[in-house]
Amino acid sequence: MLSIRANISASNFLRHVLDMLLLRPMTLKDVDEVTALDQRAFGESGWSRRHFVGEISDSPISIFYVLTDSAGSNSALLGSNSALLGSNSALLGYFGTWHIVDQLQLCTFAVDPERHGQGLGAILLNCVFRLAQRLECEVIQLEVRESNVAARTLYRSRGFQEEAVRRNLYSKPNEDGILMSIETPSASFPGASDPAGLKQPQPIELRWNDRAGASVERWP
Ligand SMILES: CC(C)(COP(=O)(O)OP(=O)(O)OC[C@H]1O[C@@H](n2cnc3c(N)ncnc32)[C@H](O)[C@@H]1OP(=O)(O)O)[C@@H](O)C(=O)NCCC(=O)NCCS
């Protein structure tokens, strides 16, 4: 610790710590912020607060995670400086899945619109791949609006195949859905030499706690 502090200035040290990303299970305390982000990302067709509460409280198949910037995870490193950072970390994105036997269904997935195009969607998708590996799922499936070019391009670029069209799957506005799927990648995470295909490489800590157990990983 002392050698780290000696090698970088105090402000760089804080920036380094603040630049950490954290993936952790979504809790009831996150729901207001997640619902607000969901409304910004999906507009009228977004999920209600009640919907998120039901998913994380009452659904045995649901597994939901949030991505934040992560001063909190480094409070031990920061020591007395942690007061400077406040207790809140910003919500950057989230995903929700349904675990059904050997399949993982990605049922919701979004990045804060103010942070689009910075590689966070790719990071979150890699976290979904990692979750599927942990749960020993063979296949990951999802549905996406036909007009959602950004998401379809992301999924295709990471190996998802478009399998079928679901007529009038969506409302507000009415639209067809595209069913996409991928066999769970076997690598520990895709693109390991170029972590998550990051445009602005940032280390990420993954705090897993789900039916595959509790553990902590760090990328890279
Ligand atoms: C889809 C979404 C998650 C992408 O998040 P993001 O952080 O902006 O994406 P990234 O910066 O990680 O980009 C990863 C890849 O996505 C694709 N992509 C992202 N934005 C794109 C756009 N506007 N047009 C085309 N492709 C795009 C590209 O393939 C990109 O890889 P590249 O930069 O190597 O070309 C984000 O747009 C979002 O939250 N949208 C609203 C909610 C939503 O539609 N969720 C999906 C529901 S199925």
Residue 173 sits at φ, ψ, to 5 deg, of -90, 160
Residue 211 lies in a domain: no
* Band of residue 186 on the pLDDT scale cut at 50, 70, 90: confident
Q: 92 with 115: CB under 8 angstroms? A: yes
d(CA 108, CA 215): 23
Kindly give the distance from the C-alpha atom of residue 110 to the centroid of ligand 1, in angstroms, as a whole number.
9
Residue 41 lies in a domain: yes
Residue 20 lies in a domain: yes
Say what the pLDDT of residue 192 is: 43
* Both structure tokens of 187: 């690598």
What is the DSSP annotation of 112-158? -GGGTTSSHHHHHHHHHHHHHHHTT-SEEEEEEETT-HHHHHHHHHT
Q: Please confirm, yes or no, whether 170 is among the known catalytic residues.
A: no
In 3D space, the residue among 188, 175, 220, 178 whose CA is nearest the CA of residue 201 turns out to be 220
CB 119 less than 6 A from any atom of ligand 1: yes
| pLDDT tens column, 32-50 | 999 999 999 999 999 999 9
Residue 170 lies in a domain: yes
Residue 218 lies in a domain: no
**CATH number where 21 lies:** 3.40.630.30
CB 39 less than 6 A from any atom of ligand 1: no
| pLDDT tens column, 76-93 | 444 334 334 434 689 999
Q: What is the pTM of this model?
A: 0.87
The helix or strand, by DSSP H or E, that contains position 164, with its residue range, turns out to be: strand 161-170
**Number of domains making up the chain:** 1
CB 177 less than 6 A from any atom of ligand 1: no
- The residue nearest atom 30 of ligand 1, judged by CA position, is 154
Residue 213 lies in a domain: no
Residue 214 lies in a domain: no
- The residue nearest atom 31 of ligand 1, judged by CA position, is 154
Q: 93 with 124: CB under 8 angstroms? A: yes
Q: 184 with 139: CB under 8 angstroms? A: yes
Residue with tokens 């602005």: 200
Domain of residue 142: give its range: 2-200
CB 133 less than 6 A from any atom of ligand 1: no
Residue 17 lies in a domain: yes
